[in-house]
Amino acid sequence: MPRLTVRRDSFPTRGSFTISRGSRTAVEVVLVELEAEEGHKGRGECVPYARYGESVEGVLAAIEGLRGALEAGDLDRQGLQTALPSGAARNALDCAFWDLEAKSSGRRVWQLAGLAEPGSLTTAYTLSLDSPEAMGSAAAANAARPLLKLKLAGPEDLARVEAVRAGAPEAKLVVDANEGWDADAYLRIAPELARLGVSLVEQPLPAGADAALADLPRPVPLCADESCHDRSSLPQLRGRYDLINVKLDKTGGLTEALALVAEAEAAGFGVMVGCMLATSLAMAPATLPAQRAQVVDLDGPLLLAEDRDPPLRIDGSTIHPAVPELWG
């Protein structure tokens, strides 16, 4: 019968971080701790996302609503999958359950999940939405990184990509429009992205308008982000996207994320594992499904001015497996 602790934490970003929906200088996360009677403690972190109708207050309330069942021992990780919908609140609790089970059993989460021992990963590094000149300078400063991800959305998008390519001529590029284009913009920009060697485009059209992608040319592979949450999303993505972006805050935790990756692979989709802007505690569980991903975007800690202690060890763009003191 675990004891529940839940609170909000705030972490400043390295400067301002901007996407098509706005800018931020700090990220607010929700931390969940489940402490067993013998003293073992499991932790999980989530990022409530307004785009999906979430708020810190709403997530805190949803988790608090389960306190009685949790502390009475009437709710376990499997029961959680139906007690809450996919989303941030379930993610924090799901990851805390996994961590607590690992700590209590003396085994790692990858062993409990029947996975191979995780290795190091190469993550994308995200360039915040800015002027072409500023993004070009940021690319030049990070030109040694093997994979750069560009936040786009606006009339200067092609100039932004050209500036980044000039600043980092050897880097692999991924662009993320965050639903910021319409079909006309996509038709105009996509062939030029292919010319510039862009390897992937995330969510070019709004989630509610992406049926049009089934009838549009695809010079660069497309990845569903806002259009893909959990396994129930997959049927409508066929013919529209080549890959899906798996984020634990969308799937509602590691449990569903692992199931989503397996089902997506069986359906012929490639896999990207991404993140919200969050700390190493949120990245650590995501490194497990990321072992099977073609694209890894778990750079949240690199974009923060402060992190959890202990953090993930990240050398340049290489993420090493989490130590048990952090998670899992």
> Among all residues, which ones are annotated catalytic?
151, 247
Please give the Cα distance from 327 to 279 (Å, whole number). Answer: 12
28 close to 10: Cβ distance less than 8 angstroms:
yes
CA distances from 85 to 9, 54, 139, 289 (A): 23, 12, 38, 20
Strand runs (DSSP E) across 277-326, as ranges? Answer: 295-296, 314-315, 318-319
Other Cβ atoms closer than 10 A to 154: 14
Please give the Cα distance from 88 to 30 (Å, whole number). Answer: 9
Which three-class secondary structure state does DSSP give residue 179? coil
The one-letter amino acid at 99:
D
Please give the Cα distance from 246 to 51 (Å, whole number). Answer: 16
